[in-house]
Structure 1
Amino acid sequence: MKKEKILVAGATGYLGRHIVKELQFKGINFQVIARTSNKLKDLGLKKGQIIEAEVTKPNTLNGVMDQIDVVISTVGITRQKDGLTYMDVDYQANMNLLHEAKAAGVAKFIYVSVIGGDQMRHLKIMEAKEKFVDALTLSGLDYTIIRPNGFYSDMKDFLEMAKKGRVYLFGDGEFKLNPIHGADLAQAVADSIESDQKEIEIGGPDILTQNEIAALALRAWKRPLKISHIPNWVKRIFLSGLKIFTSSKTYGPFEFFLAMMARNNIAPRHGIHRLESFFMQEVDKLN
């Protein structure tokens, strides 16, 4: 690998932390942007590796990329907070990074989006993500867009239901997906620094139906196999009610999760971490 210097934005999040660990493992020269260094203390970063800045405030980014060759951004929000919207973060914050990258002469920008995002622009979160993807592809910079089809951390909803003894699914539970562990995805993100691929769809090693994921979650808790299937019309009424009576801050995460679970999401398989092992490890932590 060449001696590029990497800048990671979104390092305090689930995937960002795994990317930091992967870059450390590979011995790659990098820095991270963080609003505060407190959340990164346990990662063993050196003093000069942390740049305290806020990606939603472009004035704090001035000059931070002057010695940077490649930017990796996992910036985005699942559950909105601080009064910020998806457009504020998933789109505009990444645009702030992109503008600074272009001004500094950065060679490449790597952005982590979602599989099938272009077909789900009607969702608030995907509207913002894909608007940035559009801008990145037209920016003139070399780029790679990583499209995972769900993290293992997203599957914790199954574990939470299973702990209570029953998992509830909309529809027949036969849609398939192969979510990926953060460590495996981080490896692919690091490898993409030297890749010529413009878009990479990626998933984990196990292609499973929702019913099979539910069964793994119940087994991890040593619970009987109890799965209830809820008709899709109930989901439609539920989402309609949320949109009428709540803001996008509330219904956005539900809308996104339920849309992702209402289709097959199968990507090329990658990695060594199995979902069954992840569930068992999570249960061990909670016991």
Structure 2
Amino acid sequence: MERVLLAGATGYLGRYVAHELKRRGFLVSAVVRNASRLTAQERELYEVIEAEVTNPESLSACCEGVDAVISTVGITRQKDGLTYMDVDYQANMNLLQQAKQSGVRKFIYVSALNGDTLKHLKIFQAKEAFVEQLKSSGLDYCVIRPNGFFSDMSEIYHMAKKGRVYLFGDGKLRGNPIHGEDLAEVCIDAIAGAEKVVNVGGPQTLSQNDIAMTAFQALGKTAKVTHIPDWCRVAACKLLTTLTSSKFYGPFEFFLTVMGIEMVAPQYGRHTLKDYYLSLNEEESKASS
């Protein structure tokens, strides 16, 4: 039975990956910063390695007896004084070094769609620097490039819940974000797969206008959408990168940039965005009752 080391097991994607690994019969070693973030059932199902991935000493021998590593490690909002280079690059380098020392067969890394063409963004400078190291590591590898999670689309849902969605430009740019459960299947398929790079999105390609309409439909509200001139997006991005530090502007730089380009990848999965929005609505209704 193969053993997989999963880094980032308590994150949005990591939890789905861990559950799918167990469903398929893999042994799972879960690297987590704080084991208390795992449920009691999860702690029973996995070998839990409590470690700080930015500290190489805490990872010592973590890959012993491991056949493959899956890393979902990365930050979208910088905290604790850590930078993208600290986490998206160096933490993954620490894992890669352990994998090489222990003779791990394959290393699977989750980056993002278009990361290789958006290296001017701070977040992708770090991610793609690691990708280059992974390619030259001598290990078999696969880089998974999703084009956005359903969870990233929750902001549009929350705007719709307040009564109005604001979009840059004409709202016609398209994307096909993917549910974490569907993406987890792609990550695990890569263990035995031969592809070095997998671009992947969800089963539906929607314009930004479509996504807004889907949110209003899930909420049973009349659609109200305001289109902000696209020059405002460009100006805001330039202003932030000029007047603030990268620790502050990094997430906004990423968000404002991808809002201005098409993010379409090969379609995969079964979960729809409407069903995801309906589930959010149901969860929030239960919480308030």
TM-score (norm 2): 0.96
Q: Which residue of 2 aligns with 1:277?
A: 275
Residue identity in the other structure for 2:192: E
SS in 2 for 1:75: coil
- Separation in structure 2 between the aligned mates of residue 211 and residue 188 of structure 1, nearest angstrom: 28
SS in 1 for 2:107: strand
Match for 1:255 among 253, 256, 259? 253
Kept after mapping to 2: 8 A contact 1:205/1:272: yes
Residue identity in the other structure for 2:60: N
Distance 1:264 1:48, change over 3 A: closer
Kept after mapping to 1: 8 A contact 2:30/2:46: no
- Separation in structure 2 between the aligned mates of residue 199 and residue 46 of structure 1, nearest angstrom: 33
Shift of 1:48: 6.2
Shift of 1:97: 0.5
Shift of 1:224: 1.2
Q: Which residue of 1 aligns with 2:80?
A: 82
TM-score (norm 1): 0.96
SS in 1 for 2:80: coil
Q: Which residue of 2 aligns with 1:116?
A: 114
Kept after mapping to 1: 8 A contact 2:237/2:256: no
Q: Which residue of 2 aligns with 1:165?
A: 163
- Separation in structure 1 between the aligned mates of residue 139 and residue 202 of structure 2, nearest angstrom: 29
- Separation in structure 2 between the aligned mates of residue 111 and residue 170 of structure 1, nearest angstrom: 31
Query: What is the 5 A alignment of 1:12-91?
Result: 12-46=10-44, 49-91=47-89
Residue identity in the other structure for 1:125: I
Give a deviation string over 1:133-173, Cα, whole Å, max 9, x none: 01100110000110000000000010111111111011111
Shift of 1:240: 2.4
Give a deviation string over 1:36-88, Cα, whole Å, max 9, x none: 11111255332761011110000111111111110000000001110000000
SS in 1 for 2:211: helix
SS in 1 for 2:260: coil
- Separation in structure 2 between the aligned mates of residue 42 and residue 248 of structure 1, nearest angstrom: 38
> Which has the higher mean CA deviation after the structures are superposed, 42-51 or 122-131?
42-51
Kept after mapping to 2: 8 A contact 1:30/1:49: yes
Distance 1:112 1:48, change over 3 A: closer
Unmatched runs of 5 consecutive residues or more in structure 2: none
Shift of 1:284: 1.2
Shift of 1:21: 0.9
Kept after mapping to 2: 8 A contact 1:21/1:43: no
Match for 1:98 among 96, 104, 107? 96
Kept after mapping to 1: 8 A contact 2:176/2:201: yes
Shift of 1:255: 1.0
Q: Which residue of 2 aligns with 1:218?
A: 216
- Separation in structure 2 between the aligned mates of residue 24 and residue 148 of structure 1, nearest angstrom: 22
Q: Which residue of 2 aligns with 1:207?
A: 205
- Taking every aligned residue pair, what percent have the same amino acid on both sides? 52
Q: Show structure 1 runs of 4+ deviating over 6 A.
A: none
Unmatched runs of 5 consecutive residues or more in structure 1: none
Shift of 1:198: 0.4
Match for 1:147 among 145, 148, 164? 145
Query: What is the 5 A alignment of 1:121-132?
Result: 121-132=119-130
> Which has the higher mean CA deviation after the structures are superposed, 242-251 or 88-97?
242-251
Kept after mapping to 2: 8 A contact 1:75/1:90: yes
Residue identity in the other structure for 1:178: N
Q: Which residue of 2 aligns with 1:232?
A: 230
Is 1:195 paired with 2:193? yes
- Separation in structure 1 between the aligned mates of residue 42 and residue 138 of structure 2, nearest angstrom: 35
Distance 1:47 1:279, change over 3 A: closer
Kept after mapping to 2: 8 A contact 1:33/1:53: yes
SS in 1 for 2:116: helix
Shift of 1:189: 0.7
Kept after mapping to 1: 8 A contact 2:241/2:253: no
Residue identity in the other structure for 1:127: Q
